[in-house]
Amino acid sequence: MSHSAKIQTAELDWELIDAIEVPISKQFGDVYFSKDNGLLETRHVFLNGNDLTERLSELEDFQYFCVGETGFGTGLNILTLWQLWQQVRPDNHSHLHAISVEKFPLSKADLIRTLNVWPELKPLAEQLIQQYPLPIAGCHRLSFPEQRFSIDLWLGDAQDIFPSIPKTQAVNAWFLDGFAPSCNPDMWQENVLNHIVRLSDYGTTFASFSVAGVLKRGLKQHGVHISRPRGFGHKREMLKAIWSDPSQTLTDPADAAEIKVQSERAPIASSSRPRQIAIIGAGIAGLSCAWAFAQRGHQVTIYEQDEPLSGASGNPLALLNPKLCPIEQAHEHLMTLSWQHALNFYSRFKAFRSIQVQQMALKNADELLGLAEQYPEAVLSVHDQQNATPETDYPSLTLHQAGAVSPQQLRDEILQHPNIQCIKAKISRLKCTDKQTELWQEQQLIATADDVIVCCAKQSAELFENYPPLKPIRGQVSWVENREQALALDQAYSYGGYCMQLDAAQLILGASFYPNRDDVDVLAEDHVHNYELIHSVFPEYAQQLPTVEHWQGRASVRAQSLDYFPLVGKIQNDGQIFTFAGLGSKGFLFAPLCSEVLAALVLGELCPVPQNLLDKLNPQRFQKKVKAKKPYYSG
Ligand code: SAM
Task: Give dist(CA 470, CA 561) in Å, integer.
Answer: 5
Roughly how many angstroms between the first and final C-alpha of the chain, as a whole number? 29
Atom of ligand 1 at shortest range from CA of 73: 14
Percent share of the chain, pLDDT over 90: 84
pTM listed for this prediction: 0.94
**Order of strands, sheet of 173-176, starting from the edge strand that comes earlier in the sequence:** 138-144, 149-155, 95-102, 64-70, 173-176, 205-208, 239-243, 224-227
| Whole-number pLDDT of residue 20 | 83
Would the pLDDT of 150 be above 90? Answer: yes
Q: How many other C-beta atoms can be found within 10 angstroms of the C-beta atom of residue 310?
A: 15
Mean pLDDT, residues 434-443 taken together: 94
pLDDT tens, position by position, 78-97: 999 999 999 999 999 999 99
Would the pLDDT of 599 be above 60? Answer: yes
CB 41 near ligand 1, within 6 Å: no
pLDDT tens, position by position, 373-402: 999 988 999 986 666 678 898 999 999 999
| Whole-number pLDDT of residue 77 | 98
| Whole-number pLDDT of residue 265 | 32
Strands (E) in 156-195, as ranges, are 173-176
CB 208 near ligand 1, within 6 Å: no
CB 590 near ligand 1, within 6 Å: no
CB 156 near ligand 1, within 6 Å: no
| Whole-number pLDDT of residue 183 | 87
| Contact in structure between 498 and 362 (CB atoms under 8 Å) | no
Ligand 1 centroid to Cα of residue 161, in Å, is 13
| Contact in structure between 340 and 136 (CB atoms under 8 Å) | yes
| Whole-number pLDDT of residue 253 | 42
Mutate to test the pocket of ligand 1, among 12, 13, 32 (most ligand atoms within 8 A of CB): 32
| Whole-number pLDDT of residue 350 | 98
| Whole-number pLDDT of residue 383 | 81
| Whole-number pLDDT of residue 440 | 97
Q: Is the dihedral of CA 416, 419, 421, 426 positive or negative?
A: negative
Task: Give dist(CA 226, CA 228) in Å, integer.
Answer: 7
Task: Give dist(CA 295, CA 504) in Å, integer.
Answer: 34
Ligand 1 centroid to Cα of residue 616, in Å, is 30
| Whole-number pLDDT of residue 430 | 96
CB 149 near ligand 1, within 6 Å: no
CB 33 near ligand 1, within 6 Å: yes
Ligand 1 centroid to Cα of residue 209, in Å, is 13
Ligand 1 centroid to Cα of residue 568, in Å, is 33
Would the pLDDT of 627 be above 60? Answer: no
Task: Give dist(CA 89, CA 95) in Å, integer.
Answer: 9
* Separation of CA 131 from chain center: 13
Would the pLDDT of 5 be above 70? Answer: no
CB 158 near ligand 1, within 6 Å: yes
Task: Give dist(CA 37, CA 33) in Å, integer.
Answer: 8
CB 76 near ligand 1, within 6 Å: yes
CB 498 near ligand 1, within 6 Å: no
Task: Give dist(CA 111, CA 82) in Å, integer.
Answer: 17
Angle between helices 407-415 and 284-295 (to 10 degrees): 30
pLDDT tens, position by position, 517-540: 999 999 999 999 999 999 999 999
Average pLDDT, the chain: 92
Q: Which residues contact 601 (CB under 8 A, 6 or more apart)?
A: 168, 267, 568, 569, 570, 578, 607, 633
User: Of 41, 10, 9, 15, which is closest to residue 25 (Cα–Cα)?
Assistant: 10
Q: Which residue has the higher pLDDT, 172 or 34?
A: 172
| Contact in structure between 179 and 211 (CB atoms under 8 Å) | no
pLDDT band for 549, please (50, 70, 90 cuts): very high
Task: Give dist(CA 226, CA 93) in Å, integer.
Answer: 32
Buried residues in 346-370 as b, exposed as e (16+ CB within 10 A): beeeebbbebbbbbbbeeeeeebbe
Would the pLDDT of 629 be above 50? Answer: no
pLDDT tens, position by position, 16-43: 888 888 999 999 999 998 888 899 999 9
> For 279-283, 392-396, 525-529, 587-591, which range has the lowest pLDDT when averaged over its residues?
392-396
Percent share of the chain, pLDDT over 70: 93
Would the pLDDT of 268 be above 60? Answer: no
| Whole-number pLDDT of residue 572 | 87
pLDDT band for 448, please (50, 70, 90 cuts): very high
Q: Is beta strand 491-495 parallel, antiparallel or unpaired with respect to 352-360?
A: parallel
The strand pairing partners of 480, in sequence order, are: 507
Closest residue by CA, ligand 1 atom 1: 72
Helix (H) or strand (E) holding 40: helix 38-42
User: Of 91, 77, 89, 99, which is closest to residue 53 (Cα–Cα)?
Assistant: 89
